[in-house]
Structure 1
Amino acid sequence: MESKELKIVFMGTPEFAVPSLDKLIETGYRVVGVITATDKMGGRGGKKLLESPVKKAAVRLGIPVLQPKNLKESDFQEALRALGADLQIVVAFRMLPAAVWQMPRLGTFNLHGSLLPRYRGAAPINWAVINGDRETGATTFFIRQEIDTGDVLLQHRMPIGENETAGDVHDRMMVEGAELVVDTVRLIESGDYTLRKQDDAQATPAPKIHRETCRIDWHRPVGEVHNFVRGLSPWPAAWTTLDGNQLKIIRSRAETRSQTLPPGTVIVEDNELKVACTGGNLIVEEVQLAGRKRMSTGDFLRGDSISAGQVLE
């Protein structure tokens, strides 16, 4: 079957999914429909209609869009069936009912941001960075009912730099993942591939991250604190308290050295902001006070908001 004959339905919502959709069109594939989240009210005062990045991309590309509230609704499933897709592709969408993922004759595959079976769940990039992994990657697999457990089609490995944030890795992965999506479509199209079952014994979780669990524990080893900060950057961001106010730490570096100061103690040296941890100091490079914009630590120090000897909690 030639590329132009293969009919694809694409499902996704955030910016992470947009390069994959763009790459499919650029490569010449026929995307007959896009499924994405419903529009929401937001912005200042909640008065602005917000469309998902994938919807905006679909409109730009002239692709029909469906925005179901409930994927189990018969009207939606009839509309989806009417598109006549041979293949469905899921990139950063929500869990699908069996009636949806079983619909196309060639199946439905998902792009996941880890080297499955590691980091099954909602936040694979964050947890790989938080845990100090030096490598991650992306996986395409055929969907089945249990989340992130389907048979693997292709994988692409990516290094993680020692100071890279989850946001840095995310931005690289959404581009490299788009290439993997197209490679996977070509593979399925050829019919010449072998699926690899996941080893459940090697599986690790990547649960959704909540703001309330992002508080920094300054008693932990400095390397772990650094990984925690970068694994939660840029969102929802690791935080501590300064004079009772929340202070988010967006970027940092780890300085390993003997440490006698109490954990959380602020150190100011050569216009650098450091915080004492177990086994060293966290060098803070970018911060955000509650209700303020993000700023470099140089600007933060010039604002007299913090001084040496204070203790962050």
Structure 2
Amino acid sequence: MNQGYLTLETGEVFEGVLIGADQDSLGEVVFNTSMTGYQEIITDPSYAGQIITFCYPIIGNYGVNTLDDESISPALSGVIIGDLCETPSHFQSIQKFSDKLKAAAVPGIAGVDTRKLVKTIRSRGTVKGYLSKTKQFNFTGDSKEPLWVDQVSTKKIQYFKNNGPHVVLMDFGYKKSILTALQAEGCAVTIVPYNTTFEKMKSINPDGVLFSNGPGDPMELKKWFPEIQKISQHFPSLGICLGHQLIALAFGAKTEKLAYGHRGGNHPVKELETGKVKITAQNHGYVVKDESIDEKVFDVTYRNVNDRSIEGLKHKYYPIRTVQFHPEAHPGPSDTEYILKEFVAQIASLGETRYAVK
């Protein structure tokens, strides 16, 4: 293995050995606190354009299997880990972690002091980093990033037959586990591109719409807010992660970037109606701003225990609910899987009822 370097735009340099694809990489350096689920994490489309740091000290110990990919191919820009295990032990393992990265053309670096790196990110805020065989200090910080959602969203409509309610999954970068969870509830699912219009949605005529997770700044999708508002007003809707932010923005709220985001499977969230705390899986860098919520339009349903940020919304009139966390929780705890079950039960009970657009 070759000596490699992660250079942060703030000047810090971290040394290690290069793994995965033999290429340089530039991206936003973020960290995930999950203890398991590295395969699901690296294949989550929400990491498009980012270099993910794993806080857990050893990665690769149970290998890679054929079941846990959340997308067809990883969209992230790179991986940073502490200890790399090259001798995985699990009955389902078919591949080493490093070979998975290489096959997916994803560069990585191992042997990094990830504790020090995470402490640096927490003090500096999320910064860009460069993975290379040499130290790099020439950053193009002002360069315009691509629309990551457009890169990971499906380009064609896909249909999955089932006997239950028909749900359209708006693909902003959806995780396979969301589709699997809907199918487990008996739903027929149609996956559509992120830029599907209200008129097109009416022609599909689903029982409900789920706005998925996805990468990037939600404000990059500003031109689609009117369509999102009309769709969610007309069809019972659930927004997850980016979908939560987009629905809030479509109804006039605002978002802001967190210093270093919420990423991991151990984030406590309080359900305000019951007072109960759920442990949730999260992966986002933006939140809906508290003061921007119109209390005549939305009730806040969940709050983050650590920083009090908004974690869920419920529309006062339309059957619209949103959550910032991942109720399908792959990887992560299943405390909030009831949210998807309640959504399916709601659209099944509403049947052909439609809420007219105001």
| TM-score greater than 0.5 by the shorter chain | no
TM-score under structure 2 length normalisation: 0.27
Higher share in strand = 2
* Bigger radius of gyration: 1
Higher relative contact order (CA 8 A, sep 6+): 2
